[in-house]
């Protein structure tokens, strides 16, 4: 470590028995809604028969202690950083040192409605590729919980991806002692990671994204006119988004109108989130129930939901949708562009057309471009092997194969 | 059409249901909310938790549902089945020798309780120092999927509801003609009654009184004033329409939390009563209780909870969407006499009269100094006076 100045405390998760019992009691007395005819394909939102099975499993069969042991299988820490206004932020993170003399430090950031659990199954394959008979590079793997999510602290007021990116940079440099590092993300994590690349371009060696969040400033003179392919893609995305963006709309304007129900009802929390896994995951949309369960086994998806429940963070997590736009981090300023080498891998979401590469290149220095044939929005959870192979391959192709410090 | 004979109905909720709600409200575990700077609106992120705590304390220690039931049962109520939809309605015969008949329709997240305090004075003005000859027959139904009406099997919207209402009025109750009144969804239902079920089109609606701009002409804003209104309305929509976008697309995703958590459903509903009402107090400060008492707020919320209709009530938005929206066909308008009651804190601000006239035959337009979206509940006397004046004007 070159200049570690902030200590990190070892951490492991242990939810008290009383809280587990309280969860089961609440699930036991769940009052379910009815469902409109014609919801077999989740056309009106989260399916009732699916929810009935999920709640029953959560109550009777889900073993939180086993899930907890699984989450605790990698070293975790918490480090506290004080910001310019004197507020303390405690960041929870997995830190698995990679194999070899000089692994590439890689920070992977999850989004909503996910948690650090999303990357659990890729930590070992990324840190120790040799165990899986895979070529390098090996990574020092850092997986934080977003601020306001899971085991990280709740900001007094919601903070956006730009502010979180500054905390991530301090985590990597002041806490972990790296001068330079790489980053990977999707969803909100991709906003944080893009901001990290913009705000700390000297420190970020390269980024790998599974979502391209920053929109170019189309009116600026540096931007060529929208192509036919781009126009077609934009129109399709907007049409789809109108059907899907109700959750964003409420979370970005009035999260506290929603908070009381999802903080009080575990079934309500699960119903609110499951919709996104169904829509955005690469699930079989013909056999909706079995397809959903096959893609997101109850033990996996309920670990995600249980983390939100036990940490009481669904409200602060939802509020990122208000903080992000308030910070103005979603739109690139005129002429602004991510110059850090960027690898983009698009995991398919059934109904959506492929992103035109020309669109991505307006805002990012795209050096590697992949259209994946399976795995959806939660790729690291859905297809961990494919995801880990792609990340390793991407950094290898970008020439980022070792850290910048001697081990 | 098929309709059953109306059966008298009284609200009488089993104690066990009330106890279950009480237990969940009492056990609510309070949590954090984003820090609000002094001087900033405490409802800036949605429902203020401080107020919810205060309201829930009242709910579990002072609120008396049985007293609320007595208020709801003060008027004769009935159930009837029309085209396999069970409809709950209040039906009061008015004083006078030949009373006009007025059909009043509530909206979301309201209920028939909105009209509770105006029914008596509209039906029997002589009891309030008025003229018995100005009495009205009143029909006040619960929307399909709301309160004591039945839950539809799939979403039904305002256009479908208007068709049910016209049958209720003419075929079930035998009123050949009637005047429709409404705000919120009630204004849309009433608008469709006036547009599709007017006497000239074979229906019974002879006039309409609206306190929200619901069914709209397919006309673009032309004057500077109209364009300004359109720009303002678009801005309000961006900030205030999230609940609508969600309920119109994915009501089921919202329903699990709202059906399971009474405090959650209350917060979702109360946020609207706060945001859409005239909260201005004599001290110059704004507070929800300048518009409503806790008893009023909780009675309305409890109607959703005891009937388990939060979910089906939100379906109305999806129903509207599936019906194809709220726009009239190009070049057409409502031809029956129309009264507009424009309350200042209505969040869906009325356009300039010139714009409304593109779609309606306006014979009365009232601008008020106080009141908001839930006018009958918030400023009942003023609302009742305007309805009475309109009815007097159009009856002939």
Q: Provide the pLDDT confidence category of residue A334 given band limits of 50, 70 and 90.
A: confident
Contact B347, B373 (CB under 8 A): yes
Count of the separate structural domains present in chain B:
1
Q: Which H/E stretch holds residue A239?
A: helix A228-244
CA gap B179, B338 in Å, rounded: 10
In a domain, B34, yes or no: no
Domain that holds residue A121: 8-397
**Torsion of Cα atoms, A319 then A379 then A329 then A95, to 10°:** 80
Is residue B344 scored above 90 in pLDDT? yes
Contact B86, B135 (CB under 8 A): no
The pLDDT mean for chain B works out to 96
Average pLDDT over residues B307-335: 96
Which range, of A116-125, A212-221, B189-198, B362-371, averages the lowest pLDDT?
A212-221
Global ipTM: 0.94
3-state class of B261 per DSSP? coil
Contact A243 B249 (CB under 8 A): yes
Measured between its terminal Cα atoms, the distance across chain B in Å is 31
Query: What is the pLDDT at residue A82?
Result: 95
Contact A45, B254 (CB under 8 A): yes
Place of tokens 């032309």: B222
Average pLDDT over residues A356-385: 96
Q: Provide the pLDDT confidence category of residue A1 given band limits of 50, 70 and 90.
A: very low
CB B233: neighbour CB atoms within 10 A? 17
- Contacts A–B by Cβ distance under 8 A: 188
Average pLDDT over residues A40-60: 97
Is residue B172 scored above 60 in pLDDT? yes
Query: What is the pLDDT at residue A331?
Result: 87
B34 touches chain A (CB under 8 A): yes
Residue B311 with chain A: CB contacts under 8 Å: 33-34
CA gap B108, B316 in Å, rounded: 9
Domain that holds residue B257: 7-28+41-394
Is residue A3 scored above 90 in pLDDT? no
B256 touches chain A (CB under 8 A): yes
In a domain, B2, yes or no: no
Residue A245 with chain B: CB contacts under 8 Å: 245
Q: Provide the pLDDT confidence category of residue A2 given band limits of 50, 70 and 90.
A: very low
The predicted-structure confidence for A153-186, as pLDDT tens digits, reads as follows 999 999 999 999 999 999 999 999 999 999 999 9
What φ, ψ does residue B307 adopt, rounded to 5°? -95, -10
Query: What is the pLDDT at residue B396?
Result: 67
Contact A35 B252 (CB under 8 A): yes
Residue (of B283, B288, B297, B285) closest to B372 by Cα position: B288
CA gap B327, B334 in Å, rounded: 12
Which stretches of A179-328 are assigned E, i.e. beta strand? Answer: 181-185, 204-209
Residue B245 with chain A: CB contacts under 8 Å: 245-246, 249-250
CA gap A385, A397 in Å, rounded: 18
The predicted-structure confidence for B263-295, as pLDDT tens digits, reads as follows 999 999 999 999 999 999 999 899 999 999 999
Contact B45 A244 (CB under 8 A): no
CATH of the domain at A46: 3.40.50.1820
- Residue count of chain A, please give it: 407
Q: Provide the pLDDT confidence category of residue A5 given band limits of 50, 70 and 90.
A: low
Contact B33 A315 (CB under 8 A): yes
Query: What is the pLDDT at residue B1?
Result: 60
Query: What is the pLDDT at residue B239?
Result: 86
The pLDDT mean for chain A works out to 95
Q: Which residue of A has its CA nearest to B243?
A: A250
Q: How far is CA B309 from CA A52, A334, B100, B372, in A?
A: 19, 49, 32, 25
A263 touches chain B (CB under 8 A): yes
| Contact residues, B window 70-129, toward A, CB-based 8 Å cutoff | none
The predicted-structure confidence for B216-254, as pLDDT tens digits, reads as follows 999 999 999 999 999 999 999 888 999 999 999 999 999
| Among the partner residues A45, A48, A157, nearest to B34 by beta-carbon distance | A157
Is residue A4 scored above 80 in pLDDT? no
B100-105 β-sheet, strand order = B7-9, B77-82, B85-92, B136-141, B100-105, B178-182, B205-210, B337-342, B361-367
Residue A30 with chain B: CB contacts under 8 Å: 260
CA gap B94, B137 in Å, rounded: 4
**In terms of C-beta distances under 8 Å and separation of at least 24 residues, what long-range contacts does B382-387 make, across chains too?**
B383/B118, B383/B211, B383/B341, B384/B118, B384/B121, B384/B122, B386/B209, B386/B339, B386/B341, B387/B102, B387/B118, B387/B122, B387/B181, B387/B209, B387/B341
The predicted-structure confidence for A255-283, as pLDDT tens digits, reads as follows 999 999 999 999 999 999 999 999 999 99
B259 touches chain A (CB under 8 A): yes
Query: What is the pLDDT at residue A95?
Result: 97
Is residue A234 scored above 50 in pLDDT? yes
What φ, ψ does residue A151 adopt, rounded to 5°? -95, 5
| Among the partner residues A154, A254, A322, nearest to B32 by beta-carbon distance | A154
A152 touches chain B (CB under 8 A): no
Query: What is the pLDDT at residue A339?
Result: 97
Count of the separate structural domains present in chain A:
1
Is residue B317 scored above 90 in pLDDT? yes
In a domain, B362, yes or no: yes
Angle at B205 between CA B201 and CA B208, to 5 degrees: 125
A329 touches chain B (CB under 8 A): no
| Among the partner residues A246, A260, A265, nearest to B245 by beta-carbon distance | A246
Query: What is the pLDDT at residue A172?
Result: 97
Query: What is the pLDDT at residue A220?
Result: 83
In a domain, A90, yes or no: yes
A153 touches chain B (CB under 8 A): no
Is residue A232 scored above 90 in pLDDT? yes
Residue B267 with chain A: CB contacts under 8 Å: 256-257, 259-261
CATH of the domain at B82: 3.40.50.1820
Secondary structure letter of residue B168 according to DSSP = I
Which stretches of A274-394 are assigned E, i.e. beta strand? Answer: 338-346, 364-371
Which stretches of B83-229 are assigned E, i.e. beta strand? Answer: 85-92, 100-105, 136-141, 178-182, 205-210
A267 touches chain B (CB under 8 A): yes
The predicted-structure confidence for A126-161, as pLDDT tens digits, reads as follows 999 999 999 999 999 999 999 999 999 999 999 999
Contact A258 B33 (CB under 8 A): no
Residue A160 with chain B: CB contacts under 8 Å: none
Average pLDDT over residues B370-388: 97
In a domain, B35, yes or no: no
The predicted-structure confidence for A383-393, as pLDDT tens digits, reads as follows 999 999 999 99
pTM of structure? 0.96
Q: Provide the pLDDT confidence category of residue B203 given band limits of 50, 70 and 90.
A: very high
Contact B257 A243 (CB under 8 A): no
Average pLDDT over residues B208-215: 97
| Among the partner residues B34, B258, B308, nearest to A261 by beta-carbon distance | B258
The predicted-structure confidence for B128-146, as pLDDT tens digits, reads as follows 999 999 999 999 999 999 9
In a domain, B33, yes or no: no
In a domain, A2, yes or no: no
The percentage of residues in chain B with a pLDDT greater than 70, rounded to a whole number, is 99
Closest approach of A256 to chain B, Cα-based (Å): 4
Residue B34 with chain A: CB contacts under 8 Å: 156-158, 256, 319
Q: Provide the pLDDT confidence category of residue A351 given band limits of 50, 70 and 90.
A: confident
Contact A37, B154 (CB under 8 A): yes
Secondary structure letter of residue A398 according to DSSP = T
In a domain, A403, yes or no: no
Is residue B78 scored above 70 in pLDDT? yes
């Amino acid at each position: 470590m070159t200049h570690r100045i902030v200590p990190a405390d070892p951490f492991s998760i242990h939810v008290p028995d009383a809280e587990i019992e309280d969860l089961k009691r609440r699930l036991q007395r769940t009052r379910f809604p009815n469902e409109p005819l014609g919801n077999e394909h989740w056309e009106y939102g989260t399916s009732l028969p699916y929810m009935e099975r999920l709640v029953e499993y959560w109550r009777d069969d889900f073993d939180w202690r086993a899930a907890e042991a699984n989450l605790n299988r990698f070293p975790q820490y918490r480090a506290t950083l004080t910001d310019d206004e004197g507020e303390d932020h405690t960041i929870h993170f997995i830190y698995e040192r990679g194999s070899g003399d000089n692994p590439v430090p890689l920070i992977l950031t999850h989004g909503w409605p996910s948690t650090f659990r999303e990357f659990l199954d890729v930590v070992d394959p990324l840190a120790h590729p040799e165990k899986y008979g895979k070529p390098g590079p090996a990574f020092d793997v850092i997986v934080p919980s977003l601020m306001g999510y899971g085991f990280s602290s709740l900001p007094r007021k919601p903070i956006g991806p730009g502010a979180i990116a500054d905390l991530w940079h301090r985590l990597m440099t002041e806490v972990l002692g790296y001068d330079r590092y790489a980053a990977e993300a999707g969803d909100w994590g991709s906003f944080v990671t893009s901001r990290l690349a913009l705000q700390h371009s000297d420190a970020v060696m390269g980024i790998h994204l599974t979502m391209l969040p920053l929109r170019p400033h189309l009116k600026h003179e540096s931007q060529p006119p929208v192509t036919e392919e781009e126009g077609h893609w934009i129109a399709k995305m907007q049409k789809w988004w109108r059907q899907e963006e109700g959750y964003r709309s409420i979370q970005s304007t009035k999260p506290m109108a929603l908070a009381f129900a999802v903080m009080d009802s575990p079934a309500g929390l699960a119903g609110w989130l499951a919709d996104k896994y169904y829509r955005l995951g690469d699930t079989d949309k013909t056999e909706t129930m079995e397809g959903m369960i096959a893609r997101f086994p109850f033990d996996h998806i309920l670990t995600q939901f249980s983390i939100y429940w036990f940490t009481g963070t669904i409200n602060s997590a939802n509020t990122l949708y208000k903080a992000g736009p308030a910070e103005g981090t979603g739109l690139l300023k005129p002429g602004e562009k991510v110059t850090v080498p960027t690898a983009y891998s698009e995991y398919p979401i059934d109904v959506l057309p492929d992103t035109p590469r020309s669109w991505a290149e307006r805002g990012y220095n795209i050096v590697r471009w992949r259209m994946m044939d399976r795995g959806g929005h939660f790729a690291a959870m859905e297809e961990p092997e494919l995801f880990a192979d792609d990340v390793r391959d991407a950094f290898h192709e970008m020439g980022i194969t070792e850290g910048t410090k001697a081990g | 059409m098929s309709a059953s004979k109306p059966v008298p109905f009284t609200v009488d909720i089993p104690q066990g249901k009330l106890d279950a709600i009480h237990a969940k409200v009492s056990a609510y575990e309070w949590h954090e909310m984003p820090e609000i700077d002094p001087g900033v609106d405490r409802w800036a992120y949605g429902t203020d938790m401080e107020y919810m705590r205060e309201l829930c304390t009242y709910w579990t220690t002072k609120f008396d549902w049985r007293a609320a039931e007595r208020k709801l049962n003060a008027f004769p109520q009935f159930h009837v089945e029309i085209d396999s939809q069970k409809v709950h309605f209040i039906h009061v015969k008015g004083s006078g020798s030949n009373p006009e008949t007025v059909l009043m329709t509530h909206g979301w997240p309201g209920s028939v309780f909105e009209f509770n305090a105006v029914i008596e004075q509209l039906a029997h003005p002589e009891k309030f120092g008025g003229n018995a000859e100005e009495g009205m027959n009143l029909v006040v139904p619960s929307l399909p999927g709301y309160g004591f009406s039945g839950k539809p099997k799939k979403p039904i919207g305002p256009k479908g509801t208007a068709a049910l209402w016209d049958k209720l009025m003419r075929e079930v109750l035998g009123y050949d003609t009637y005047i429709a009144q409404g705000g919120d969804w009630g204004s849309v239902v009433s608008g469709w009654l006036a547009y599709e079920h007017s006497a000239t089109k074979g229906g019974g609606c002879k006039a309409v009184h609206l306190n929200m701009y619901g069914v709209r002409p397919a006309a673009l804003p032309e004057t500077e004033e109209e364009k300004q209104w359109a720009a303002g309305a678009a801005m309000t929509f961006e900030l205030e329409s999230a609940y609508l976008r969600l309920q119109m697309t994915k009501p089921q995703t919202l329903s699990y939390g709202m059906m399971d958590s009474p405090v959650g459903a209350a917060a979702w509903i109360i946020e609207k009563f706060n945001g859409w009402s005239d909260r201005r107090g004599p001290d110059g400060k704004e507070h929800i209780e300048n518009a409503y008492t806790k008893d009023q707020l909780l009675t309305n919320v409890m109607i959703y909870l005891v009937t388990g209709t939060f979910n089906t009530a939100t379906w109305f938005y999806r129903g509207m969407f599936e019906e194809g929206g709220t726009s009239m066909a190009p070049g057409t308008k409502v031809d029956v006499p129309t009264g507009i009651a424009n309350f200042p804190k209505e969040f869906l601000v009325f356009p300039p009269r010139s714009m409304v006239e593109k779609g309606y035959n306006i014979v009365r337009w009232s601008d008020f100094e106080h009141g908001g979206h839930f006018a009958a509940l918030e400023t009942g006397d003023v609302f009742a006076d305007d309805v009475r004046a309109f009815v007097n004007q159009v009856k002939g």
